[in-house]
């Protein structure tokens, strides 16, 4: 009987590629997959750009101008198993913050990660002093590597994308599901890998999914002196938050037909929307803030079950140090309850009172409490 590919059996992995001491593109070889993703679907593939030239005698055979690899990878949002995804998408976690090694050990087997938006996602040397390294912890010229090997095992074949980078990330939460969708761009793809012929050796690590009801969202006017508190909690019917890394991936003479190393063409953009029942008193406050263009700050904290054998819970915290509501729209869509749809944009700012202190002062920071003891970038 011929092999049959069943979509519900597809497995995927995203593994950071080897650390280098000199900038290199692409990686010399694919990384061997070490952990599965909580995959919902994926469509990463080669998307060739082929064009014909019109002549008096007719169109010429198409020329291949480029063979970029790209696609989306929707994931179930989980408390564990996505630390590498956050690190690759945002790009930075210092070795130490205020002298404390990160990930920070909170208890035996419990660690806090702090991910920040880096100014560049290309291969970039660490700064021993600024990034919190002590003597002997950093090799000369050691690079921050934010590219990875993405592998989709479709049973019949295993599709392996070399040197994939996260061009975009979107977090979407509703009572039905909390999901995280990645937009990947990669150097090249193969369906006959010697490094990752399949993902049979990897098993489900026991993902802990985020639930919508576990979310506490707080939002208030930006302040360097007054922290958000329980009076700033906002009940939402749903939300969307996106990070656009604004990566350009040109095809050069040296890399044709593949892309050169992607690089930012502008600072990362963070945007989103809140969906709020119109009949709540908080909706009037949102309308007022939107009309006035008030500078705000917000945090979104999911708290999950206790980490087995500890008194600490799994946690995902998303911090927006400074944001503005662009408008507030409450259309009448029929004989039903109205919903306030509030788009927002976040931007770089020194963190307000009560926010974690980082090094980048970016528009977005993510903290994860899980069982992973290592920095995904190291």
Which pLDDT tens digit goes with each residue over 83-121? 999 999 999 999 999 999 999 999 999 999 999 999 999
pLDDT score for 2: 47
Are 102 and 114 within 8 A, CB to CB?
yes
Three-class DSSP category at 38: coil
pLDDT in tens, 324-347: 999 877 667 766 667 788 999 999
Are 343 and 327 within 8 A, CB to CB?
yes
CA–CA dist 93, 18 (Å, integer): 17
CA–CA dist 139, 145 (Å, integer): 14
Q: How many CB atoms lie under 10 A from the CB of residue 218?
A: 18
With vertex at residue 79, the alpha carbon angle to CA 78 and CA 84, rounded to the nearest 5 degrees, is 85
Instruction: Identify the CA nearest to 197 among candidates 165, 148, 163, 155.
Output: 155
Residues facing 149 on adjacent strands: 15
pLDDT score for 361: 84
pLDDT score for 1: 38
- Considering Cα of 145, then 346, then 236, then 172, what sign does the dihedral take? negative
pLDDT score for 48: 80
Are 159 and 151 within 8 A, CB to CB?
yes
Rounded to whole angstroms, what are the CA distances from 67 to 29, 185, 188? 19, 11, 8
pTM confidence score: 0.93
pLDDT score for 101: 97
Rounded to whole angstroms, what are the CA distances from 292 to 77, 222, 287, 295? 34, 14, 9, 9
Rounded to whole angstroms, what are the CA distances from 361 to 92, 206, 226, 346, 358? 12, 34, 18, 12, 6
Beta strands in 34-78 (DSSP E): 45-46, 49-51, 54-55, 58-59, 63-66, 69-76
Question: Please, is 265 exposed, middle or buried when counting C-beta atoms within 10 Å of its C-beta (0-12, 13-18, 19+)?
Answer: exposed
Tell me which residues of the chain have a pLDDT lower than 70: 1-8, 278-281, 330-331, 334-337
Give me the residue spans of the domains in the chain.
9-26+33-47+64-370
Are 243 and 102 within 8 A, CB to CB?
no
Three-class DSSP category at 283: helix
């Amino acid at each position: 009987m011929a092999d049959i590919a069943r979509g519900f059996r597809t497995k995927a992995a995203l593994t950071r590629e080897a650390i280098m001491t000199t900038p290199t593109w692409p990686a010399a070889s694919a990384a061997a997959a070490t952990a599965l993703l909580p995959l919902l679907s994926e469509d990463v593939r080669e998307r060739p750009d082929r064009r014909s030239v019109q002549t008096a005698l007719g169109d010429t055979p198409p020329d291949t101008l480029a063979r970029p690899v790209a696609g989306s990878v929707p994931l179930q949002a989980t408390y564990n198993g996505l630390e590498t995804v956050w690190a690759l998408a945002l790009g930075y976690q210092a070795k130490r913050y205020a002298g404390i090694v990160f990930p920070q050990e909170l208890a035996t087997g419990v660690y806090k990660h702090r991910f920040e938006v880096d100014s560049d996602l290309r291969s970039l040397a660490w700064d021993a002093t600024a990034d919190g390294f002590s003597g002997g912890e950093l090799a000369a010229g050691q690079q921050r590597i934010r590219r990875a090997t993405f592998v989709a095992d479709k049973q019949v074949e295993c599709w392996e994308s070399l040197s994939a980078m996260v061009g975009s990330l979107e977090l979407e939460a509703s009572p039905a599901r909390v999901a995280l969708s990645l937009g990947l761009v990669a150097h090249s793809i193969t369906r006959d890998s010697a490094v990752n012929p399949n993902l049979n050796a990897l098993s489900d690590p026991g993902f802990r999914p985020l639930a919508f009801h576990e979310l506490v969202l707080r939002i208030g006017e930006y302040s360097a002196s007054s922290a958000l508190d329980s009076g700033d909690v906002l009940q939402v019917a749903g939300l969307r938050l996106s990070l656009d890394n604004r990566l350009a991936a040109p095809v050069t003479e040296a890399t044709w037909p593949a892309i050169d190393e992607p690089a930012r063409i502008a600072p990362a953009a963070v945007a989103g929307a809140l969906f709020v029942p119109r009949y709540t008193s908080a909706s009037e406050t949102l309308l007022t803030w939107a009309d006035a263009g008030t500078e705000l700050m917000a945090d979104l904290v999911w708290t999950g079950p206790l980490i087995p054998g500890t008194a600490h819970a799994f946690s995902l915290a998303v911090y927006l140090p400074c944001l503005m509501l662009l408008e507030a729209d409450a259309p009448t869509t029929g004989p039903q309850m109205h919903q306030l749809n509030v788009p927002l944009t976040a931007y770089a700012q020194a963190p307000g009172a009560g926010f974690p202190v980082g090094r980048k002062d970016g528009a977005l920071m993510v903290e994860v409490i899980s069982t992973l003891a290592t920095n995904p970038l190291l």
